[in-house]
């Protein structure tokens, strides 16, 4: 590896580690009354830190990390730097599931049995969003007849997104009370992350990162085109299914805990490529850390920018991520 590349990677790794540490610290001391270092020493404030801020801060990093990983895998899998991890239908599936659960009570009053409504409510928003995301991806895979053909998979993802989105709109038109909850889900929030969420997200990341890293070489081979990759002796069908599974589970876990946080999955791999272009082995690991750092920083900003009010973190990531991509387009058009 050239010396310059090695240096860039070291710098980026160091930067990501430092910003994550600073972000974690900031997450602990940032509250509705602004920045307070007293929170780290005061016994009364310690409860707030331990039970609310710490899991939220850790959970925000883990959610972002999962989205960063999913984004990097999706962009490698689709050979498209604009591929978003939500492309496979997970976002629309999760949104519809959440709307269905929220609307369950209203629907119960209009004909469906109380037992059914109760069951839907018991499943809970988190589980429903996770299952909805997975069902969305499974529908996409079914429509595309597997993961063999990239173009068909992308098209199927778009179709599933549109159709499930339309169904979701239909449900909210029948049960308008679900609209508020749907809005919160679509904007994305880290406000509900507790230790349970952090544990689930951490376990998910520990489960998904190793297989993704193990298949990094397959993503490298895909950069030369599908035909070339196929003649290199790769079991491309199986590799694709595993990678689609990684994207589906990572986005499913992330959206089930924090709603649809925009742009993190798209922007994290972009930023890594900009500062340390590399093969997929490093790119996947660094995009994971970059995603975590982006969402953690956004979460701290969302809590403090208009304190004691709080901004929806998804709005902030959309503004920052969208602004970054616009700047990127502008910078490239000047080259």
Partner 1 sequence: MSEAGLCTRGLRVRLGGVEVLHGVSLDFATGWTTIVGPNGAGKSTLLRAMAGLLVPSAGEVELAGRVLPRWSARERGRRLAWMSQNGEVTGELTVREVVHLGRLPHLGLFAAPGTDDEAAVDEAIRATGCGAWQHRRLRELSGGERQRVLLARALGAGAPVLLLDEPTTHLDPPHQVAMVRLLRDLGRTHVVVSVLHDLPLALQADRLVVLQDGRVRADGAHDCPALHATLVDAFDGALRIERLGDGARAASGGAGACRYTALPNLEP
- In the complex with partner 1, which residue's Cβ is closer, 50 or 224? 224
Output 111 or 233, the one with its CB closest to partner 1: 233
* Distance in Å, CB of 79 to partner 1, minimum: 5
Do 132 and 89 contact (CB within 8 A), yes or no? no
Can you tell me the distance from the alpha carbon of 123 to that of 299, in angstroms, rounded to the nearest whole number?
28
Please give the torsion angle defined by the CA atoms of residues 223, 225, 228 and 230, in that order, rounded to the nearest 10 degrees.
100
Quote the least distance from Cβ 88 to partner 1, whole Å: 19
Q: Kindly tell me which of 152 and 273 has the beta carbon lying closer to partner 1.
A: 273
- Which residue's CB is nearer to partner 1, number 109 or number 277? 277
Closest distance to partner 1 from the beta carbon of 203 (Å) = 24
**Least distance CB 231 / partner 1 (angstroms):** 4
Minimum distance of partner 1 from residue 220's CB (angstroms): 6
Cβ count within 10 A of residue 302? 26
Judged by beta carbon, residue 83 or residue 178, the one nearer partner 1 is 83
User: C-beta of 9: minimal distance to partner 1 in Å?
Assistant: 12
Query: How many residues appear in the chain?
Result: 335
Contacting positions for partner 1 (CB under 8 A): 1-2, 5, 76, 79-81, 214-215, 217-218, 220-221, 223-225, 227-228, 230-235, 239, 273, 277-280, 283
Cβ proximity to partner 1, 277 vs 323, nearer residue: 277
CA atoms within 13 A of residue 328's CA, in its CB half-sphere: 15
| Cα 106 → chain centroid | 30
Q: Whose Cβ is closer to partner 1: residue 118's or residue 225's?
A: 225
The kind and range of the H/E element at 31 are strand 30-31
69's CB contacts (< 8 A; 6+ apart) are: 205, 208, 209, 212, 246, 250, 284, 287, 288, 291
Q: Report the candidate in 50, 23, 105, 74 with the shortest Cα–Cα distance to residue 287.
A: 74
Phi, psi dihedral angles at 249 (to 5 degrees): -70, -40
Tell me how far, at minimum, the Cβ of 52 lies from partner 1, in Å. 40
Instruction: Give 31's strand partners.
Output: 34
């Amino acid at each position: 590896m050239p010396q310059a590349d090695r240096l860039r990677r070291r710098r980026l790794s160091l930067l990501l580690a430092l910003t994550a540490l600073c972000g974690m610290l900031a997450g602990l001391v940032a509250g509705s009354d602004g920045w307070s270092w007293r929170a780290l020493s005061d016994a009364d404030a310690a409860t707030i830190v331990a039970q609310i801020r710490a899991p939220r801060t850790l959970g925000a990093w883990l959610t972002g990390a999962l989205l960063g990983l999913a984004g990097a895998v999706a962009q490698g899998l689709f050979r498209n730097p604009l591929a978003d991890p939500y492309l496979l239908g997970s976002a629309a599936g999760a949104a519809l599931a959440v709307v269905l659960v929220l609307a369950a009570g209203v629907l119960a009053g209009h004909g469906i049995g109380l037992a059914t409504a109760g069951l839907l409510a018991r499943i809970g928003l988190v589980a429903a969003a996770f299952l909805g995301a997975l069902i969305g991806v499974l529908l996409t895979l079914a429509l595309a007849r597997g993961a063999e053909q990239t173009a068909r998979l992308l098209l199927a993802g778009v179709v599933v997104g549109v159709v499930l989105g339309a169904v979701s709109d239909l449900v909210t038109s029948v049960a308008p009370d679900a609209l508020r909850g749907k809005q919160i889900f679509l904007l994305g929030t880290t406000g509900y992350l507790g230790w349970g969420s952090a544990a689930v997200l951490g376990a998910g990341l520990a489960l998904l990162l190793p297989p993704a890293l193990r298949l990094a070489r397959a993503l490298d081979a895909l950069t030369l085109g599908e035909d070339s990759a196929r003649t290199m002796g790769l079991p491309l069908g199986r590799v694709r299914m595993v990678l689609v599974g990684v994207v589906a589970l990572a986005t499913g876990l992330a959206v089930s805990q924090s709603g649809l946080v925009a742009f993190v999955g798209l922007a994290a791999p972009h930023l890594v490529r900009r500062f340390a272009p590399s093969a997929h082995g490093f790119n996947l690991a660094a995009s994971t850390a970059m995603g975590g750092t982006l969402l953690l920083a956004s979460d701290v900003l969302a809590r403090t920018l208009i304190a004691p009010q709080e901004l929806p973190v998804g709005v902030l990531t959309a503004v920052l991520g969208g602004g970054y991509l616009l700047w990127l387009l502008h910078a490239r058009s000047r080259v």
